A and B are shown apart, each in its own frame.
Chain A
Amino acid sequence: MSAVRTAPPPAFAPSKFARSLTLIVLVVAMVYFMGPVIWLIIASSKSTADLLTTPPFAFSQLNWVANWQALMSWTGGQFPRWVINSVIYSSLAGVVGTMISLACGFAIAKYQFPGRKALLMITMTGLLMPVALLTVPLYVLFQTIGLANTPWAVIVPSLVSPFGLFLGRVYAEASVPTELLEAARVDGAGEVRIFFTIVLRLLGPAMLTIFLFIFVATWNNILLPLMMISSDNLKPVTLGLYGMASYYAPNKGAMMLGALLGVLPLVALFLALQRHWRAGLAAGAVKG
């Protein structure tokens, strides 16, 4: 996907009218998709009184500091902790989840072992599983083994990603040449060493894509922490915000600032690693 396309030959060039009409459609769509984001940024700067009285799409008095203080006193100083929790849960699930997805994907792509087909089929039905429905029994299971209301209750279910495995397999098939593995074996390298020194290096771009997918899915999940986590200091930011939103008459300016801060790390990550996201989506779309 190149950013700038070569101009079409004059004979195929669309009319000026068609291009203006297209531009209008594109702008309307942009207003729809970006409007709420811009509104969120502006709303987060206002006091609740200003939110009610000033024009919604214009900054008035910048009230960020007061909103931050309100947010801190409202959450008993826990808010930064929640953001940090989200970062920790999502990163850990992302790193471990990526490693096990790649290892398993590599095994399925490059080894002949009994049960390989069955493993592939069963894990791929996991792709179409309504995962939210598993949260109810997962909660009971984790309570039984004593892991409910610990960080593990959020991390462990998040790091098993059938979609990550799917991508890992597709990438391993496409970019790990079997001859290279054979050559390394002839040179006397063990399988584990081959995986860590050769395979992971070849799968670098895949690694980042899978990491992003798992990271985002973990960050966005609300049902799992809602069921698993009851201690205030273990909440991820989405759960904390949900608790705040359910208050009677919440401080809306502080609420909007909290929402913005709960989104920023994710948006930053998205923008920074845009290219890799798209590569992953492309693999999914073409193979899927």
Chain B
Amino acid sequence: MSRNARHQALFGWLFAAPFAIGFLLVFVAPIIWAIRAAFFGSEAAEGGLYGGGARREVFVGFKNFAHAATNPGFWSGMGRVLAFGAIQIPVMILAALFLALLLDSFLVRRPGLWRLGYFLPFAIPGLIAAIVWTYLYLPELSPFAAALPDLDGIAFFLSPRLVLASMANITTWTYTGYNMLIFLAALQAIPHDLYEAARIDGASGWVIATKIKIPLVRGAALLAVLLSIIGTVQLFNEPTMIRTVATWMGNDYMPMLMAYNTLMGQISPSGMGPASAISILMAVVAGSLAVIYALVQRRIAR
């Protein structure tokens, strides 16, 4: 190794080390830990069910995974998350794209104020957004919910038939403006000569939007959808908050809620092992969905 190469290696790692160590501690170690924990369960040490109280860890192989994977509660929660994402993500991304195209067109002279207003909900912490919307769904408080009929004896927005849509609305409200800004930034990066040339060739604003702008923000859209898929699988704030007023919802209504309540001993079998197995299964599902989406996208693009 030459002197310069050694110098580069030394200082490169010196500057990279704090982040790398943090990453090991906060990302890598927990993953390894979770995988290990998923293969263990706890059982009463000295036989007796109510005896000593001391518990010890025992290796249980794939039992935790088998339990999570065959638990109908897990899959119905996953099904809810998928139904949620299948509708919410396209609605949000299309709305964000539509607003971005509108603000980027000649139709709007001063986009600044609109842009800021649409983006502001992103500054509201997810849990607080969930609190505000939950109260907006309560007929006794809400400006609009009182006019709507109960469904199956439960307030309109909190009824089993509509509660997923109510949650989807909270997520859409929070993240549409953020995604709109991402699209706007991508649109700003397109050289304006491109539009001028198209204009001179007689293209209308509509043609420019659909034939030039939309294809060019494809990369940004792909990333936005991927991040939304990952975010949807770990949905937690909305179901947690809505459950405080919609008491019919189970504590395993969505997978992240199930993982949390499993860890906290609210769902049996409880503890670190079963909770880790659920988390890993969720990560596998999320990863598979992201990969499937990316592959389908690539095939369509070809």
* A binding-site residues for B, Cβ under 8 Å: 1, 3-5, 7-8, 12-14, 18-19, 22, 25-26, 29-30, 32-34, 36-37, 39-40, 43, 51-52, 56-57, 99-101, 103-104, 106-108, 111-116, 119, 122-123, 126, 128-134, 136-141, 156-157, 159-160, 162, 165, 191-192, 195, 216, 219-220, 222-223, 226-227, 238, 241-242, 245-246, 252, 255-256, 259, 262-263, 266-267, 270-271, 274, 278, 281-282, 284-286, 288
| Chain B residues, CB < 8 A from A270 | 120, 123
Decide yes or no: A25 and B283 within 8 Å by CB, A30-B117, A252-B135 being known contacts. no
Q: A30-B114, A32-B173, A123-B19 are in contact. List 18 more A-B contacts (CB 8 A).
A: A12-B199, A18-B107, A33-B117, A36-B121, A36-B173, A40-B132, A43-B141, A104-B15, A107-B12, A126-B23, A130-B286, A133-B256, A223-B260, A226-B260, A256-B132, A263-B123, A267-B124, A270-B120
Q: B279 contacts A106, CB within 8 Å?
A: no
Question: Contact between B283 and A26 (Cβ–Cβ < 8 Å)?
Answer: no
Q: How far is the CA of A37 from the CA of B123 in the complex (A)?
A: 11
Is A141 a contact of B30 with CB atoms below 8 Å? yes
**B120 in complex: contacting residue of A34, A100, A140, A242, CB < 8 Å:** A34
> Which A residues are in CB contact (< 8 Å) with B259?
133, 136
Interchain CB contact (< 8 A) of B26 among A156, A255, A262: A156
18 cross-chain CB contacts under 8 A: A12-B199, A26-B114, A39-B136, A101-B19, A103-B15, A107-B15, A113-B9, A132-B256, A134-B27, A134-B31, A136-B276, A137-B34, A222-B127, A222-B236, A223-B260, A262-B128, A281-B181, A285-B185
Question: Which residue, of B107, B244, B259, has the highest number of chain A Cβ atoms within 10 A?
Answer: B107
* CB contact between B125 and one of A111, A119, A129, A266 (< 8 Å): that residue: A266
Q: How far is the CA of A195 from the CA of B176 in the complex (A)?
A: 38
Question: Would you call B128 and A160 a contact (CB within 8 A)?
Answer: no
Q: A19-B107, A103-B18, A141-B30 are in contact. Are A39 and B128 (CB under 8 A)?
A: no
**Residue pair A34, B117 in contact (C-beta under 8 Å):** yes
- Scan B282-302; emit 1 where CB is below 8 A from any A CB, else 0: 110010001000000000000
8 closest A-B pairs by beta carbon, nearest first, are A113-B12, A111-B12, A104-B19, A107-B15, A132-B234, A56-B143, A137-B30, A285-B185
Say yes or no: B189 contacts A282, CB within 8 Å: yes
A133 contacts which chain B residues (CB < 8 A)? Answer: 34, 234, 256, 259, 279-280, 282-283
A contact patch SS? helix
Pick the most buried of B26, B29, B33, B184: most chain A CB atoms within 10 A of its CB.
Answer: B26
For A140, the chain B residues whose CB sits under 8 A away are 33, 37, 272
Partner of B226, one of A36, A128, A137, A219: A128
Residues of B contacting A32 in the complex (Cβ-Cβ under 8 angstroms): 173
Q: Check A126–B31 contact: CB distance below 8 A.
A: no
* Closest CB in chain A relative to B231 CB, distance in Å: 8
> Bound complex: CA of A106 vs CA of B81, how far in Å?
39
Cβ distance B201 to chain A, nearest Cβ, rounded Å: 12
Interface of B is mostly: helix
A238 x B125 contact (CB < 8 A): yes
B188 at the interface (CB under 8 A from A): yes
Beta-carbon contact of A216 and B123 below 8 Å: yes
| 8 Å CB contact of A106 from B15, B220, B234, B260 | B15
A253 to B166, CA, bound (A): 23
Assess the A37–B121 pair: CB atoms within 8 A.
yes
Measured CB to CB, the nearest residue on chain B to A22 is B107
Query: By CB atoms of chain B within 10 A, which of A52, A138, A252 has the most?
Result: A138
